[in-house]
Amino acid sequence: MDHSWYVLSQVALLAGLPDSVPAPSSRLVGQAILPLEITERRYRLEYAIATNDLPMFIQRLPAWIDAATSLKSVHAIAETVGFPEWPRGELPVPGPEATADIPKIVSAAVTAFSVVAAPCGPAGLASLRDAVVVAGFGSEPGRVDPSGVVRDPNPGSTGNRTVEQCVAAWATESLTPSELLEATLRLTLHVQAGDYRRVTERPFARRAKKLWRRVATEQRFALRAPAVTVPAIEEAAAREGDSLADVASLILAALPAVAIQVPSELLAQLRALVGEGEHPRRGVGACFPLQPGNVSTAPLQ
The pLDDT tens digits of the residues spanning 186-237 come to 999 999 988 899 899 999 999 999 999 999 999 989 999 999 999 999 999 9
- For residue range 106-127, what is the model confidence (pLDDT) as tens digits? 888 899 999 999 888 888 888 8
Distance CA 136, CA 279 (A): 43
* Predicted pLDDT at 70: 74
Does some domain include residue 186? no
Determine the pLDDT at residue 226. Answer: 92
Query: Looking at the predicted structure, is the pLDDT value of residue 8 above 80?
Result: no
* Tens digit of each residue's pLDDT (9 = 90 or more) over 126-150: 888 888 888 777 544 334 333 332 2
Instruction: Confirm if 170 and 183 have CB atoms less than 8 A apart.
Output: yes
Does residue 223 sit within a domain?
no
Residues whose CB falls within 8 Å of the CB of residue 91, separated by 6 or more in sequence, listed in order = 75, 78, 79
- The answer to whether residue 58 sits within a structural domain is yes
Q: Give tens-digit pLDDT for 254-279.
A: 999 998 888 888 889 999 999 875 55
pLDDT of residue 203: 93
Q: Is pLDDT of 38 > 50? A: yes
pLDDT for 191 equals 93
How is residue 284 annotated by DSSP? Answer: T
Q: Which residue has the higher pLDDT, 90 or 48?
A: 48
Q: At a CB cut-off of 8 Å and minimum separation 6, what does 71 contact?
A: 38, 94, 97, 98
Domain hosting residue 79, numbered range: 1-96
Total domains in the fold of the chain: 1
Angle at 249 between CA 246 and CA 253, to 5 degrees: 140
- The span from the CA of 65 to the CA of 141, in Å, is 13
Please check whether residue 75 lies inside any domain of the structure. yes
